């Protein structure tokens, strides 16, 4: 019991450290640096300590200090309670959603079974959807409570968009669940040991649908109409300043990580390396003894998982800096008239193929 609790806390601290301590700040830098590289600019390279700029890696530190010392500003006429609550409601679900994503398999070390997922729930992916559906309140409340036309317009656009794409996103993964027969993400991950049983091969349409919907759900270009600077300043978080402003951004980055995690688990073989089964890895590391080999396999799997996540994050960044923005009517049309019917057809075809 005590060992289980220690294990749980260790896993939580690990995920928390990686997400909040590494990904969230570093992604802020990656976003700027990658846009700079793609647009042939020099980009974030000004912040330095004694002349060392570390290719701009000190910018997240500088940003944090700067944002912390900025005024926390609530405009007159705003609803103070909800104005403060909105970033909280946005960030908290984004932090929690990752807890059902497995970052490795099950290992037995010194007689203690380690399951590399914070919470191995029966409802699995529904847990993520449940918390993702809560983050919409942050957007609606943030826009509504600011008492600003731009904020309110942004909030309305954002919420309608998120609702539209949540439907298609939920339906897009039904095919995957049908194929693997489980909502439990650890099960789905474990079933993809064989390279040709990866979700991306069994559910190619579902993969494309899910990426499109997830990008829209996270309100990133090409679906960033709720925060389109050229039209409505910054959308629902126009009236936010200091760390509250950056909390919306942190939530976006964390959602990117979660999306990358879901895609990796459902479609890209979770923690497995293509063509190399766990047994092969185990025999490869056999020089370290039974327990040592298991630990090495575990570390390899974790590294594989995070490599895939980083790849998917890079992919999302590249999409953001490659495509132009949709018009609002185009976007709603895409969601309801193309993605939704397509995902229904995908379910039908998957059912037929599985039955035959």
Partner 1 sequence: MSEYIPVLIMLIIGAGTSALILVATTIIGPKKSFADKMEPFECGESPIVSPKLRFSVKFYLVALFFVIFDIEAVFLYPWAVLFKSLGLFGFVEMMIFLALLGVGLIYIWKKGALEWE
Partner 2 sequence: MFYILGAGAVLSALSMVTNKRPVSAAMSLIVTMFCLAGLYVLLDAHLIAALQIIIYAGAIMVLFLFVIMLLNIQEKEGRLAGHKIFLQFSGIVIVGYIFIKVVKLIGGSNLPARMEGSIKGFGTTSAVGEMLFTDFLLPFEIASVLLLAAMVGAVILAKAKID
Which residues between 288 and 307 bind partner 2 (CB under 8 A)?
none
CB-based contact 261:98 (threshold 8 Å): yes
Q: Which of 56, 27, 52 is nearest to 42 (CA)?
A: 56
Scanning 108-116, 122-130, 197-205, 328-336 for contacts with partner 2 by CB under 8 A, the matching segment is 122-130
Residues 127-156 that bind partner 2 (CB under 8 A): 127, 129-131, 133-134, 136-137, 140-141, 144
Q: How far is C-alpha 228 from the geometric centre of its chain's CA atoms?
A: 21
How many Å apart are CA 34 and CA 318, to the nearest integer?
Answer: 8
Scanning 6-14, 218-226, 301-309, 314-322 for contacts with partner 1 by CB under 8 A, the matching segment is 6-14
Q: Which listed option, partner 2, partner 1, none, makes contact with residue 149 (CB within 5 to 8 Å by class)?
A: partner 1
38 part of the interface to partner 1, by CB under 8 A: no
165 part of the interface to partner 2, by CB under 8 A: no
Nearer Cβ to partner 2 (293/332): 332
Closest distance of CB 157 from partner 2, Å: 13
Scanning 32-40, 63-71, 213-221, 259-267 for contacts with partner 1 by CB under 8 A, the matching segment is 63-71
Nearer Cβ to partner 1 (135/278): 135
159 part of the interface to partner 2, by CB under 8 A: yes
For residue 150, what are its two tokens? 């731009």
How many Å apart are CA 101 and CA 227, to the nearest integer?
Answer: 29
Scanning 81-89, 203-211, 274-282, 318-326 for contacts with partner 2 by CB under 8 A, the matching segment is 81-89
Scanning 89-97, 209-217, 264-272, 303-311 for contacts with partner 1 by CB under 8 A, the matching segment is 89-97
How many Å apart are CA 39 and CA 73, to the nearest integer?
Answer: 34
57 part of the interface to partner 2, by CB under 8 A: no
Q: Which of 89, 76, 18 is nearest to 248 (CA)?
A: 89
121 part of the interface to partner 2, by CB under 8 A: yes
123 part of the interface to partner 2, by CB under 8 A: yes
**Cis amide leading into 222 (omega within 30):** yes
Nearer Cβ to partner 1 (95/268): 95
82 part of the interface to partner 2, by CB under 8 A: yes
Angle (CA) 161-242-240 rounded to 5° is 40
106 part of the interface to partner 1, by CB under 8 A: no
Helices (H), the chain: 2-16, 24-38, 59-68, 80-96, 125-145, 149-172, 174-180, 185-190, 199-202, 204-217, 229-232, 242-266, 278-284, 289-322, 328-333, 340-355
Helices (H), 218-277: 229-232, 242-266
How many Å apart are CA 264 and CA 309, to the nearest integer?
Answer: 7
Residues 166-185 that bind partner 2 (CB under 8 A): 183
How many Å apart are CA 189 and CA 169, to the nearest integer?
Answer: 19
Q: Which of 36, 38, 45, 170 binds partner 1 (CB under 8 A)?
A: 170
Residues 323-352 that bind partner 1 (CB under 8 A): 328-329, 332-333, 336-337, 340-341, 344, 347-348, 351
Q: Which of 54, 61, 163, 290 binds partner 2 (CB under 8 A)?
A: 163
Q: Which listed option, partner 2, partner 1, none, makes contact with residue 136 (CB within 5 to 8 Å by class)?
A: partner 2
How many Å apart are CA 24 and CA 253, to the nearest integer?
Answer: 6
């Amino acid at each position: 019991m005590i060992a289980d609790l220690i294990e749980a806390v260790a896993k939580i601290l690990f995920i928390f450290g990686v997400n909040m301590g590494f990904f969230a700040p570093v992604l802020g830098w990656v976003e700027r640096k990658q846009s700079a590289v793609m647009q042939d600019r020099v980009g974030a390279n000004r912040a330095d300590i004694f002349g060392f700029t570390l290719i701009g890696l000190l910018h997240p530190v500088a940003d944090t200090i700067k944002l912390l010392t900025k005024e926390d500003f609530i405009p007159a006429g705003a609803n103070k309670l909800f104005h403060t609550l909105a970033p909280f409601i946005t960030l908290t679900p984004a932090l929690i959603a990752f807890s059902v994503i497995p970052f490795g398999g099950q290992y037995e070390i010194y007689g203690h079974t380690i399951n590399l997922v914070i919470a191995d729930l029966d409802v699995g992916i529904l847990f993520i959807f449940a918390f993702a559906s809560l983050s919409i309140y942050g957007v609606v409340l943030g826009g509504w409570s600011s008492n600003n036309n731009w904020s309110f317009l942004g909030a309305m656009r954002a919420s309608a968009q998120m609702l539209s794409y949540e439907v298609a996103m939920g339906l897009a993964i039904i095919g995957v669940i049908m194929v693997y027969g489980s909502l439990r993400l650890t099960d789905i991950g474990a079933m993809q040991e064989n390279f040709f049983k990866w979700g991306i091969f069994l559910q190619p349409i579902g993969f494309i649908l899910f990426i499109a919907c997830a990008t829209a759900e996270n309100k990133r270009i090409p679906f960033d109409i709720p925060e389109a600077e050229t039209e409505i300043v910054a959308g629902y978080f126009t009236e936010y300043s200091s760390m509250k402003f950056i909390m919306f951004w942190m939530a976006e980055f964390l959602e990117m990580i979660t999306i990358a995690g879901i895609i990796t688990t459902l479609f890209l073989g979770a923690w497995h390396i293509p063509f190399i089964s766990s047994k092969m890895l185990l025999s490869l590391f056999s020089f370290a003894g039974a327990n040592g080999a298991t630990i090495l396999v575990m570390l390899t799997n974790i590294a594989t998982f995070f490599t895939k996540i980083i790849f998917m994050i890079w992919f999302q960044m590249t999409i953001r800096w490659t495509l132009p923005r949709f018009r609002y009517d185009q976007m709603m049309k895409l969601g309801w008239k193309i993605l939704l019917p397509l995902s229904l057809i995908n379910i039908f075809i998957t059912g037929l193929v599985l039955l035959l």
